[in-house]
């Protein structure tokens, strides 16, 4: 039975809101007193390959919206026959280091170009690559041996979001970066070898690149100035207990081998290991070829373990040599660990690109095979990972099929890092 109840004014107002027939003015909820678009300049206006680009943030008391901030630069190769291949302008970033004003290291990403290429390809769709991704140099495969789009010798302007290459700015919860962290922050970007960053536009006649130049590098920042009473409240929290900033950090391990059975451990102690990604490339890649491309998938068995816990519980095996007819399970497993199965947000890496082909020129694809292992123990949170220590190691076990070939495995351990920002210093915990 239902009881008839007298509607009070609060319930009436709520029902009007729910039924979209309330015509009141929305409440004022902004706490910012000013928003500005500022430009931060690097120490030099011109850098060459092999140099380290350095910038010190001069943001004062402003809060940074990293998702609306970006790096702008002009990239000029010494000829007009090269492209970024399956990557983007992020191919130029060999190492990215971020330090606080007191010298505390917030983030260090080795081989950041390889990580960025694969993160963009697996986590973004074709539509993203053809729209937003175009600004940072992404492109789709072009047939007849033409690889990507050419970067002209006269230079081209590229835009790359800060959250793409700065993990410590990509805060969990999409929070603003507070001035306790941002003010005085030092950014160092080491530029990669030209034959790592670029490949020939024409893969039928691959040629090496002698050099390239980066000019007019600038970081455009979206800054918010909070009203005094809110700013004081946050400062009080920072001075008494610190501001907790959570983000995902990446630790790179490199293994070179020419054996069928590949076993190695990750020498990193962390409290929350979330994911492991293994990118397999040929041990040597000729100049002019796409250095960011994976080699064709050829594992007959994959598994990893942390202590006595195995992921997956039973090794994931192929019934025969990798082919278009049996690659779907490992492809599906890789997408699952990238959270691509919860919603209709497809990856730009197709099954054919995941399988890959040997580089021969005409008909090449953007080889994109990656072996992913997820250690997140929650389906609703990103904060429930495995603990790794000297007594509880993380091991990777892979088996190549057929005749073993010399390969280089770049492994990226994704783990949770906490930066506790105080007024004068920052505490970093893994």
Sole residue written with tokens 């790179």: 252
Question: Please, what is the average pLDDT of the chain?
Answer: 87
- Which H, E and C letters describe the chain, residue by residue? CCCCCCCCHHHHHHHHHHCCCCCCCCCCCCCEEEEEEEEEECCCCEEECCCEEEEECCCCCCEECHHHCEEEEEEEECCCCEECCCCCHHHHEEEEEEECCCCCEEEEEECHHHHHHHHHHHHCCHHHHHCHHHHHCCCCCCCCCECCCCCCCCCEEEEEEHHHHCHHHCCCCCCCECHHHHCCCEEEEEECCHHHHCEECECCCCCCCCCEEEEEEEEEEEEEEECHHHHHHHHHHHHHCCEEEEEEEEEEEEEEECCCEEEEEECCCEEEEEEEEEEEEECCCCCCCCCCCCCCCCEEEEEEEECCEEEEEEEEECCCCCCCCCCHHHHHHHHHCCCCCCCCCCCCCCHHHHHCCCCCCCCCCCCCCCEEEECCCCCCCCCCCEEEECCECEEEEEEECCCCCCEEEEEEEEEEEEEEECCCCEEEEC
Residue 91 near residue 82 (C-beta atoms within 8 A): no
Q: Which CATH architecture has domain 32-429?
A: Distorted Sandwich (2.70)
How much is the pLDDT for 423? Answer: 83
How much is the pLDDT for 231? Answer: 83
How much is the pLDDT for 3? Answer: 60
> What are the two backbone dihedrals, phi and then psi, of residue 354, each rounded to the nearest 5 degrees?
-70, -45
How much is the pLDDT for 1? Answer: 47
How much is the pLDDT for 253? Answer: 92
Global confidence as pTM: 0.89
How much is the pLDDT for 215? Answer: 96
How much is the pLDDT for 5? Answer: 59
CA distances from 79 to 45, 131, 146, 200, 427 (A): 21, 26, 16, 10, 46
R_g over Cα of the chain = 24
How much is the pLDDT for 139? Answer: 86
Sole residue written with tokens 């400062």: 235
Burial class for 396, CB neighbours closer than 10 Å (0-12, 13-18, 19+): buried
* Nearest-angstrom CA–CA distance, 24 and 64: 32
How much is the pLDDT for 2? Answer: 56
Token couple for 348:
């730009």
Non-local CB neighbours of 387 within 8 Å, separated by 6+ positions: 270, 271, 272, 273
Token couple for 428:
């970093």
Token couple for 365:
């694809």
Residue 252 near residue 94 (C-beta atoms within 8 A): no
How much is the pLDDT for 161? Answer: 93
* Nearest-angstrom CA–CA distance, 168 and 179: 13
Domain boundaries, the chain: 32-429
pLDDT, tens only, 92-102 = 999 999 999 88
* Nearest-angstrom CA–CA distance, 302 and 323: 16
Mean pLDDT by 10 residues, the chain (430 residues): 62 83 79 86 94 93 90 94 91 94 90 92 87 88 79 93 91 87 91 93 88 95 87 84 90 91 90 91 88 90 89 88 86 82 79 84 77 84 83 89 86 92 83
């Amino acid at each position: 039975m239902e009881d008839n109840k007298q509607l009070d004014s609060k319930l009436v107002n709520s029902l009007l809101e729910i039924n979209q027939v309330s015509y009141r003015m929305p409440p004022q909820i902004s706490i910012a007193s000013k928003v500005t678009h500022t430009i931060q300049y690097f120490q030099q206006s011109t850098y060459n390959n092999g140099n380290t680009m350095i910038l010190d943030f001069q943001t004062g008391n402003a809060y940074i919206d990293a998702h609306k901030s970006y790096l702008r630069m002009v990239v000029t190769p010494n000829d007009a026959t090269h492209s970024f291949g399956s990557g983007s302008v992020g191919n130029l970033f060999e190492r990215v280091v971020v330090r606080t004003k007191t010298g505390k290291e917030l983030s260090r990403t080795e081989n950041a170009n390889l990580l960025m290429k694969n993160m963009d390809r697996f986590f973004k769709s074709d539509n993203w690559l053809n729209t937003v991704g175009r600004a940072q140099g992404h492109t789709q495969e072009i047939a007849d041996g033409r690889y990507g789009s050419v970067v002209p010798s006269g230079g081209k302007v590229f835009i790359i979001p800060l959250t793409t290459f700065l993990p410590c700015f990509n805060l969990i919860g999409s929070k603003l970066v507070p001035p306790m962290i941002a003010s005085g922050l030092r950014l160092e970007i080491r530029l990669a070898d030209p034959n790592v960053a670029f490949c020939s536009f024409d893969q039928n006649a691959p040629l090496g690149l002698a050099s390239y130049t980066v000019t007019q590098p600038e970081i455009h920042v979206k800054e918010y100035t909070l009203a005094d009473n809110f700013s004081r409240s946050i400062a009080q929290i920072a001075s008494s207990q610190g501001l907790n900033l959570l983000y995902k950090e990446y630790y790179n391990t490199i293994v070179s081998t020419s054996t069928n059975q590949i076993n190695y451990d990750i020498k990193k102690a962390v409290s929350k290991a979330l994911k492991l990604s293994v990118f397999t490339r040929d041990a040597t890649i000729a100049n002019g070829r796409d250095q960011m491309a994976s080699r064709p998938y050829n594992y007959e068995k994959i598994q990893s373990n942390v202590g006595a816990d195995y992921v997956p519980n039973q090794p994931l095996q192929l019934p025969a040599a990798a082919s278009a007819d049996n690659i779907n399970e490992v492809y599906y497993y890789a997408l699952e660990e990238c959270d691509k199965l919860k919603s209709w947000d497809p990856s730009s890496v197709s099954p054919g690109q995941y399988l890959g082909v040997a580089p021969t020129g005409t008909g090449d694809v953007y080889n994109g095979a990656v072996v992913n292992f997820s250690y997140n123990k929650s389906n609703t949170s990103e904060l429930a990972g495995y603990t790794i220590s000297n007594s509880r190691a993380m091991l990777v076990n892979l088996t190549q099929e057929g005749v073993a070939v010399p390969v280089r495995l770049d492994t990226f351990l994704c783990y949770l890092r906490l930066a506790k920002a105080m007024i004068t210093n920052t505490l970093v915990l893994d």
